[in-house]
A and B are shown apart, each in its own frame.
Chain A
């Protein structure tokens, strides 16, 4: 009996972990109009309704734009900051590092609230752009930390060699540093994309008419349970999983250069 106990626990834990996801995905294929037992399907009806919903498709487009746009900015800023701090001696560099990491310690709600106050006070208004700015704020620390952590002496030697051979700084960065750090940069980018893609509260506070997918899902939730929500939820989950698996592959693919 004792021998099986760990496996029983593992089974119970996985059941608990996958119960909501399983129910979500299963009832996305529900034929009827309520996503609760009994299951009568499978039917692709609700996926069809999802694709036919213009608001939802617009939100999907917005989410992709915000996720990729904000991640690109976060990774670019994070990379240059990491390069500057790792390769140049700056006074107060510990303070700068602390400042760049600081947003990680503050909950998203508070980051969003602060930006909301500033944006409404200054009359700049809310749009997809402001949501993207918020997402850069939360993803920049992660991108910076991941890239900074992977900048070792090994790359520095290669950079010195390139410089000795007459490469200008821009050439060193483009031809030596970036290619050598590709796994870390890719990891930072994909992690930012998933976090932005799933993020709700900042997008909810900082968008007005054009919204991202989680915000659109939120407003659909008000009208109660519906298999259409299951279909969208399953779809969002699938995209996140795909990106995470991509991350797993880019991060852990050996051998590194």
Chain B
């Protein structure tokens, strides 16, 4: 086969997937970018190539506020999830006997595969006024009256943390079991105590697993509409919620597009900040 013929055949195999991606991903994306530069006057679209939609982010308090809310929730969730997942991954990797590890890990991340609508609904049940948690607290005599847990930011964060603890446990565990026990032994031999060994040896070596998980958490959390919509209150809206409001009530596609572009820029920024440690391909 000639080199040219070989290349032609290669294109033949690649082109269906390539055309699909170009038509249904790249093209819509470009159109969305163009749409973000249009404006809505009354009910008609005007393609005036203006940055008016982006300017609105600074002019309208509720848009600016949504970005802050999204960032606050996402960063809180990422931090709490890492703190909870690390010990769990550690215990599975080093305390659970090797033959039970796969099972322990599988069990630890099984509810990860619940549909996210169903998972948020399940948390709503747990946190409802008449729900399990309030019942348990009253039963234990810790509170007299049910407290409001659902429809708050606390509920949103809980729902998110539940999901991302599982994800992070997976990425950190994958990192931990690749560590040779020799690192620990060497550190101990050199006189480091357990805390020093962790702080100066294990933690830096598991940073890629943490950062990879944290990045995935950030990306998935900041773009999620369902969890804050079901569990959060209606006193504050996240960016995805505002996007959906624009689509629904006002059909303001230009503003929704601009917000989507902003969301993507935040994710891109997070990527650049964590790129040094990211090991997506190793998962």
Binding site for B on A (CB under 8 A): 6-7, 9-10, 13-14, 16-21, 23-24, 27, 34-37, 77-78, 80-81, 83-85, 87-91, 96, 99-100, 102-103, 105-111, 113-118, 121, 133-134, 136-137, 140, 144, 169, 194, 197-198, 200-201, 205, 214, 217-218, 221, 225, 229-230, 232-233, 236-237, 240-241, 243-244, 248, 252
Shortest A137–chain B CB gap in Å is 5
The total of chain B residues at the interface (CB under 8 A) is: 78
Q: Are B115 and A80 in contact (CB under 8 A)?
A: no
Q: Are B9 and A240 in contact (CB under 8 A)?
A: no
Query: What residues of B have a CB within 8 angstroms of the CB of A137 in the complex?
Result: 20-21, 24-25
Q: Are A17 and B117 in contact (CB under 8 A)?
A: no
| B240 touches which of A13, A88, A99, A109 (Cβ 8 Å) | A109
Interface string of B162-182 (1 = CB under 8 A from A): 100110000000000000000
Q: Are A17 and B24 in contact (CB under 8 A)?
A: no
Q: Are A99 and B28 in contact (CB under 8 A)?
A: no
Interface residue? B160 (CB, 8 A): no
Where chain A touches its partner, the secondary structure class is: helix
Shortest B114–chain A CB gap in Å is 5
Bound together, the chains give a CA A100 to CA B7 distance in angstroms of 18
Bound together, the chains give a CA A174 to CA B220 distance in angstroms of 37
Given known pairs A17-B165, A36-B128, A113-B256, the reply for A103 and B114 (CB within 8 Å) is: no
For window 99-113 of B, CB contacts with A under 8 Å fall at 102, 104, 106-108, 110-111, 113
Q: Are A248 and B106 in contact (CB under 8 A)?
A: yes
| B115 touches which of A81, A106, A114, A198 (Cβ 8 Å) | A198
Sample (29) of A-B pairs whose CB atoms are under 8 Å apart: A7-B91, A9-B87, A9-B91, A10-B95, A17-B162, A23-B126, A23-B132, A34-B130, A36-B128, A36-B130, A36-B132, A90-B11, A96-B14, A100-B17, A107-B224, A107-B263, A110-B264, A111-B25, A113-B257, A116-B247, A140-B20, A140-B21, A144-B17, A198-B115, A217-B117, A225-B125, A237-B111, A240-B114, A244-B110
Bound together, the chains give a CA A136 to CA B25 distance in angstroms of 10
Q: Are B114 and A236 in contact (CB under 8 A)?
A: yes
Q: Are B219 and A117 in contact (CB under 8 A)?
A: no
Bound together, the chains give a CA A244 to CA B115 distance in angstroms of 13
Q: Are A136 and B226 in contact (CB under 8 A)?
A: no
Bound together, the chains give a CA A36 to CA B136 distance in angstroms of 12
Q: Are A77 and B20 in contact (CB under 8 A)?
A: yes
Q: Are A114 and B29 in contact (CB under 8 A)?
A: yes
Given known pairs A90-B11, A113-B32, the reply for A218 and B117 (CB within 8 Å) is: yes
Bound together, the chains give a CA A187 to CA B24 distance in angstroms of 24
| CB-based nearest A residue for B118 | A233
Bound together, the chains give a CA A87 to CA B222 distance in angstroms of 38
Bound together, the chains give a CA A87 to CA B87 distance in angstroms of 43
Bound together, the chains give a CA A113 to CA B223 distance in angstroms of 12
Query: What residues of A have a CB within 8 angstroms of the CB of B154 in the complex?
Result: none
| A14 touches which of B107, B113, B128 (Cβ 8 Å) | B107
Given known pairs A19-B126, A90-B7, the reply for A233 and B271 (CB within 8 Å) is: no
